[in-house]
Structures are given as C-alpha cells and as structure tokens.
Amino acid sequence: MYPQGPAAYDRAITVFSPDGRLFQVEYAREAVKRGTTAVGIVYNKGVILAVDKNVSSKLIVPKSIEKIFQIDDHIGVATSGLVADARRLVEDARVRAQRSRLVYNEPISVNGLTREICDIKQAYTQYGGARPFGTALLIAGVNSTPHLFETDPSGAFTEFTAGAIGMGKRDVEKLLEERYKPGINRQDAINLALISLNSVSEGKIQSQNIDMITIELGGKYIQVGLTEIDESIKRLGKELDSHTEKKE
C-alpha cells in the first residue's frame, strides 16, 4: 500500500507526489508569502523598487534591515522571504555581474543575470540533501530598455511592467492593474509605489521605514532619499489616509 497525504512526500525535495507536486517548493513559496511586501514599477526613463521594511519594534534601527541590494551600477534586487537565503543569491549575482565586466568588458544583461540566478534556484529543487531557496526576488535594471523580473523559489521567472512580491502581493497587483499606465514618469511611479505599499501596511507608511531605489536609462543605481520620500508621502496625505481608514 502506498503512503497517503503530503507527509509521505514532503521530506525529500527529489520526490514528486502522485499529483505531480513538490511540496518543499510549495513550502518555500509560503515562506515568501510571509515576507514583507516589495514593489517594482517600470516608468518612462527607468525602473523603481520599493519596500516597506515593516519595522516591528522601536528598538530596531531601520537602516539595519536591508531588503534592496545593489548588484551592479545598472541592476538592483528587492527580496521577500528569508533574507539570509536572498543574500546568498545576491552575492552570487554580484560575482556574475563583475565577471561579465572583467571577461567581456560590458555590463551583464538583466535578462541574462535573471536566467543565471534562476538556474541556481532550479538546481536546488532537484538535488537531495538541499532545500529550495525560501525567497522571491524582484530584479530591476536597464540595458537598452528598463526591465523588471520576478523570480520564484522554483526557478521560474517572468517579466513585468509592474509587480509585487511578499505578503501583500495579490492586493498590490490588483491595485497596480487598475492604476498603472505605461509611460508614467518618475514621480508618478514613486507615488504609485507608496500608495501600493500603504494599501497593505498595518498603518500609514512612514518614510523612515521605506527603502526605495531607481535605475534610469543612461544613469546608475540611485537610492531615493528620505527627504524625497517624505515629501511624496505628504503630497499623497489625503489619499494615504483614506486607504488607512478603510483598513481600520
């Protein structure tokens, strides 16, 4: 008699259940769903990444929580899920980006780097003695055009014009589908990112808890300053307040 139920198939990553599922990969996706929400938006001159660090204690130093990482001058990554797993992938991505500059004397393509990182993720879904990476990544960058890719613990990846990962993924994507317009400018992209994060936060978002970067065509990876984020939050005051009231 064959064993029944998920428990019979979830102990080894190399074992498929009778209905073709890999439970360890699905558990890794659940870890991502418990992570903080990250948003990525492509605009007319570049791409933006934004994360609400969801600081849970007044004793925590917000700067110590890192959810967005620079890979190269033209590529950044936002993470959700197990940050330690994400750091392992980030370090590998940085090495591959620098290798491209040393060997080929040119920056690595955003698509190429995404594919290589996802190849690593996929390898950890088929070898015994390992577990999948419990993290999803939003990989943003520019080559001749801006790009935004979402990666899954399984190693699959998809390109988006606007997307989200983490616990608020579904709600944020619904909002983005309603409000995102191709060709929006940088300020509108910042506003939309803040509105998206505010829509799934427990209270009104605070500038010190927001991490945000932009990468523009012909430009470089730039950290959006707290002053600019704070000014944007103040301009959006009434709209952010109305979202907060609805949640309450």
Q: Which residue has the tokens 């991502």?
A: 32
How would you write 72-84 as a 3-class SS string? Answer: ECCEEEEEEECHH
Residue 125 is a catalytic residue? no
Which is catalytic among the residues 14, 36, 37, 125? 36
Closest Cα partner for 12 from 122, 123, 131, 154? 131
CA-wise closest residue to 76 among 192, 220, 232, 194? 220
Helices (H) and strands (E) in the chain, counts: 7, 10
Residue 116 CA to residue 111 CA, distance in Å, equals: 9
Q: Which two tokens stand for residue 154?
A: 């399984």
Q: What is the CA radius of gyration of the chain?
A: 19
Residue 19: both structure tokens together? 């209905």
> 68: part of which helix (H) or strand (E)?
strand 68-72
In angstroms, rounded to a whole number, what is the distance separating the alpha carbons of residues 68 and 231? 21
Residues annotated as catalytic (active site), given as ranges:
36
